[in-house]
Amino acid sequence: MKGLIDIKWKEVTLNDVSKYSKERININELTLKNYVSTENMLPGKAGKIIASSLPNGSAIKYKRGQTLISNIRPYFKKIWYADIDGGCSADVLVFEISDEIDDKYFYYLLNQDHFFDYVLAGSKGTKMPRGDKQQIMMYPFKLPHKDEQKVIADTLSCLDNKIEINNRINETLEEMAQAIFKNWFVDFEPFKDGEFEDSELGKIPAGWRVISMEDCVTTIDNRGKTPPLSNRITPYPIIDVKALSGASRIINYNNCTKYVELNTYNNWFRSGHPKQQDILISTVGSLAEMKIFYGDKGCIAQNVVGFRSKYLSTLYLYQYFQYIKKDLISYDIGSVQPSIKVTHIIKHKIVIPSNKVLKLLGYPLDSR
């Protein structure tokens, strides 16, 4: 098989099938949605998010179907297949390809660790390495016939679509879980025919109780100066608000953009690191984004606080935090940017059902 591939597939370089786009577009023609920079491109080949601001002047023009990669810090592996027209900063490379290569195949060709390792090996600079544009164009690969390219690209696209569908299913399941939680523990629908008693939060089922959040959680707060950052991706990511975004309850490590070395991980974060099933909540910027920590190595950023359950089920506590998310956001005291105090969160009152009721929905008291 290898011999057949060697015969049928041409040996080429990027320079043989592509060039860098140089066409410009005025910033006034762009929006936050279609402007791309190294800031709003996501690491780990995760595409991009909406930009937070627009620069002045002009940008490099890109078109739907083109591949964009960030040329700053290649180890972050930032790449995006454009599904819209727009513009990007000069630190983002846009490729114009020849008719000899399929646009989606070209994207998957560059969407490989081998390519980013090649770019990093030829990069210049230490603190902020930048890819060498001439060296990038010398990237060698074997090019199949265009019909084969389309088959390969279609197969990989199919797999990507299935991943996206699974992500949407997870979002739907999260919405269902929150609806069931509200029905049981906020509206008390299954207990309407039982006895109720007064509490500081209104009528609650008899035998239930109201306590402050601080009575059932321990906080982990790593506020302070920014630690020395690694110039490469390491097993020790700093988990900030970007990593807490999205509907899933699991941290998206593809959104982590800062890392530290082992020595910094062990010695800098003196207040400790998150442990399994801690709940992490953002307190600055995009408020009350939250996730459950299921990893084994991670550092809490300055804009994130961890909450460790003392005895409640982590899942119950997480669903409760989700339910009071609007209340948490309303505690905003920021003037320059949104900000909430940890004291506001832990003073919030929480309804605690009996353990018998918690078990019915899989929320037994935590044995930790």
Q: Using one digit for the tens of pLDDT, what is the confidence trace for 80-89?
A: 999 999 999 9
Q: Look at residue 28 in the predicted model and tell me its pLDDT.
A: 95
End of a domain among 90, 117, 144? Answer: 144
Two tokens at 259?
A: 């890392």
Query: Which of 55-69, 126-140, 196-210 has the highest average model confidence (pLDDT)?
Result: 55-69
What pLDDT does residue 271 have? Answer: 67
Tell me, yes or no, whether 131 and 278 share the same domain: no
Q: State the residue for tokens 């009152």.
A: 349
Global confidence as pTM: 0.64
Q: What is the pLDDT of residue 224?
A: 66
Report helix angle 314-323 to 146-185, nearest 10.
Answer: 90
Q: Place 20 in a pLDDT band, splitting at 50, 70 and 90.
A: very high
171 — pLDDT class (breaks 50, 70, 90)? confident
Residue 157 falls within a domain, yes or no?
no
Note whether 288 and 281 are within 8 A (CB). Answer: yes
Residue span of the structural domain in which 32 resides: 2-144
Q: Are residues 86 and 200 in the same domain?
A: no
Q: Please, which residues bridge with residue 279 across strands?
A: 292, 307
31-40, 197-206, 221-230, 326-335, range with the lowest pLDDT? 221-230
- Same domain? For 127 and 229 the reply is no
Asked whether residue 101 falls in the same domain as residue 215, the answer is: no
Please check whether residues 194 and 69 belong to one and the same domain: no
Could you tell me which residues come within 8 angstroms of residue 135 by beta carbon, excluding any fewer than 6 positions away?
Answer: 119, 122
CA torsion sign, 61 to 63 to 66 to 69? Answer: positive
Tokens in use for 264?
A: 């910094």
d(CA 242, CA 326): 19
Residue whose C-alpha is closest to residue 93's, from 67, 122, 123: 67
What is the pLDDT, as a whole number, of residue 3?
Answer: 45
- Which tokens go with 363? 């929320």
SS (H, E, C) 209-232: EEEEHHHCEEEEECCCCCCCCCCC
How many folded domains does the chain comprise? 2
Pair 92, 37: CB distance under 8 Å: yes
Highest mean pLDDT among 97-106, 166-175, 244-253, 301-310: 97-106
Neighbours of 207 (CB within 10 A): 13
Q: What per-residue confidence (pLDDT) applies to 76?
A: 81
Q: Best-predicted range by mean pLDDT among 20-29, 36-45, 121-130?
A: 20-29
225 with 121, same domain: the answer is: no
Q: Are strands 299-300 and 238-239 parallel, antiparallel or unpaired?
A: parallel
Burial of 156 from C-beta contacts in 10 A (0-12 / 13-18 / 19+)? middle
Task: Specify the 3-state DSSP secondary structure of 353.
Answer: coil
Do the domain assignments include residue 367?
Answer: no
Domain endpoint, select from 82, 116, 144: 144
Asked whether the predicted pLDDT for residue 23 surpasses 60, the reply is: yes
> Which of 42-51, 111-120, 234-243, 292-301: highest mean pLDDT?
111-120
Do 200 and 330 lie in one domain? The reply is yes
pLDDT of residue 2: 45
Instruction: Report yes or no: 292 and 318 within 8 Å, Cβ to Cβ.
Output: yes
Angle in degrees, 0-180, between the axes of helices 146-185 and 103-110, rounded to the nearest 10: 70
237/130 same-domain check = no
List, for residues 227-279, the tens digit of each pLDDT value.
888 877 888 999 988 888 877 788 878 778 888 999 998 888 766 789 989 99
Let me know whether 225 and 343 are in one domain.
yes
- In angstroms, the CA 119 to CA 115 distance is 6
Where does residue 48 fall: left (phi above 0), alpha (psi -120 to 50 degrees), or beta otherwise?
beta
Per-residue tokens: 19: 């060039």
**What secondary structure does DSSP assign to 317-335, as a single string?**
HHHHHHHTHHHHHHT---S
Query: Quick one: pLDDT band at residue 6, thresholds 50, 70, 90?
Result: very low
Q: Is residue 366 part of a domain?
A: no
What gap in Å lies between CA 318 and CA 307, rounded to an integer?
Answer: 10
Residue at 168 is within a domain: no
Asked if residue 177 is part of any domain, the answer here is: no
* Residue 322 falls inside a structural domain: yes
Same domain flag for 212 and 339: yes
Binned at pLDDT 50, 70 and 90, residue 5 comes out as very low
Q: What's the rounded Cα separation, in Å, for the pair 221 and 236?
A: 17
Q: Are 207 and 354 in contact (CB under 8 A)?
A: yes
Question: What pLDDT is attached to residue 7?
Answer: 53
pLDDT at 366: 62
Percentage of the chain beyond pLDDT 70 is 95
DSSP designation for 132: -
- Please check whether residue 14 lies inside any domain of the structure: yes
Q: Percent of the chain scored above 90 by pLDDT?
A: 51
CATH of residue 230's domain is: 3.90.220.20
294: in domain: yes
133 plus 199 within the same structural domain: no
Which is nearest to 365 in space by CA: 293, 316, 329?
A: 316
Taking only the tens place, the pLDDT of each residue in 48-72 is: 989 988 999 999 999 999 999 999 9
> What was the pLDDT predicted at 296?
78
Question: Which of 81, 111, 144 finishes a domain?
Answer: 144
Residue 86 burial (10 A CB sphere; 0-12, 13-18, 19+): buried
pLDDT in tens, 71-116: 998 888 899 999 999 999 999 999 999 999 999 999 999 999 899 9
pLDDT on residue 43: 79
Same domain, 58 and 137: yes
Mean pLDDT, the chain, integer = 88
